[in-house]
Amino acid sequence: MKSILIIGSGKFGRHLCRNLAELGNQIMLVDQVEENLEEMLPYVVSAKIGDCTNPSVLESLGVDNFDLCFVCISSNFQSSLEITSQLKEMGARHVVSQASRDIQAKFLLRNGADDVIYPDRDIAEREAVRYSANHVYDYIEVSEEYSIYEIPPLPEWVGKSLREADIRNRYQVVVLGTKENGGRASILPPADYIIRSDQHLMVIARKDEIDDLLKKIQ
């Protein structure tokens, strides 16, 4: 469990707040507009109205007491930049700021951000991969080279063990887990696990090596 400050309760800020709260973290949420905070009250331990470009407002939050500080402001980059810089000057341990373009990320990193996130770009890339391949049900980028894909098993694998299917050697992908139609996942199945037609496989692979497998699935 971590203590987290989220500044800005726009669309991304609200989604981030809900997900972090569901994972058991303690959250303070700050926004200039009271109405933006009301629906988030069940998810936070504290909600405050304030303009965080004002140094006195930030000082009153005790930013150095939080494990993480998120700056989730997409409508006004100047405000995001000012808040990011002030957070670091006030001793914030780890600052994560939202950006929509590479040039914004560069300025944020130069002015105190420890990490930068691109919600719109990341969602667009994920959905592009998912929908360009007919049977990729989910996609998570791990690095520039590797990604995790949720795919159905090839018919030739069904009824065979992972060892017999020899997926790793034949397609250069590693099976990390299986997923039931209802969403329940099992991680790191043993080599003698029998592949079923009603399950999906979660595999990790290099992006430049999975094309042959995805073409077969299509």
pLDDT digits (tens, 9 = 90+) for 68-77: 999 999 889 9
- pLDDT band of 185, cuts 50, 70, 90: confident
Q: Are residues 136 and 112 in the same domain?
A: no
Residue 200: pLDDT over 70: yes
Q: How confident is the model at residue 59 (pLDDT cuts 50, 70, 90)?
A: very high
Q: Based on the structure, what is the number of domains in the chain?
A: 2
**pLDDT value of residue 126:** 60
Which of 98, 117, 136 is the C-terminal boundary of a domain? Answer: 117
Residues 108 and 126 in one domain: no
Same domain, yes or no: 128 and 147: yes
Highest mean pLDDT among 69-83, 124-138, 140-154 belongs to 69-83
Say whether pLDDT at 93 is over 70: yes
pLDDT exceeds 90 at position 48: yes
The yes-or-no verdict on residue 183 having pLDDT over 80 is no
Q: By residue range, what is the domain housing residue 91?
A: 3-117
- 126 lies in the same domain as 111: no
Verify that 109 and 139 share a domain, yes or no. no
Contact indicator for 19, 2 with CB cutoff of 8 Å:
no
Same domain for 105 and 7?
A: yes
Q: At 15, which CATH number?
A: 3.40.50.720
pTM beyond 0.85: no
Domain limit, last residue, from 87, 117, 147: 117
Does residue 109 sit in the same domain as residue 186? no
Closest by alpha carbon to 187, among 199, 175, 204? 175
In contact, 166 and 174? CB cutoff 8 Å: no
Cα 147 to chain centroid, rounded: 13
Per-residue pLDDT at 3: 96
Last residue of a domain, one of 95, 117, 139: 117
Report the CATH number at residue 146. 3.30.70.1450
Give the pLDDT of residue 122.
67
**How far is it, in rounded angstroms, from Cα 51 to Cα 98?**
17
Please indicate, yes or no, whether residues 98 and 16 belong to a single structural domain of this protein. Answer: yes
pLDDT at 184: 81
pLDDT at residue 211, rounded to an integer? 77
Which residues are CB-neighbours of 27 under 8 A, at least 6 positions away?
Answer: 4, 5, 6, 17, 20, 21, 43, 44, 45, 46
pLDDT at residue 189 above 70? yes
Work out whether strand 185-187 and strand 173-179 pair parallel, antiparallel, or are unpaired: antiparallel
For residue 47, list its beta bridge partners: 29
Alpha carbon distances (Å) from 199 to 45, 128, 153, 178, 214? 39, 23, 7, 7, 17
Read off the pLDDT of residues 104-128 as tens digits, 9 standing for 90 and up.
Answer: 989 999 999 999 988 876 666 665 6
* Enclosing H/E stretch for 202: strand 200-206
Instruction: Give the model confidence (pLDDT) of 150-172 as tens digits.
Output: 888 999 999 999 999 999 998 88
Distance of alpha carbon 183 from alpha carbon 179, whole angstroms: 6
Beta bridge partner(s), residue 133: none
Same domain (yes/no): 47, 21: yes
Q: Note whether 167 and 144 are same-domain residues.
A: yes
The answer to whether residues 136 and 207 belong to one domain is yes
Are residues 109 and 76 both part of a single domain? yes
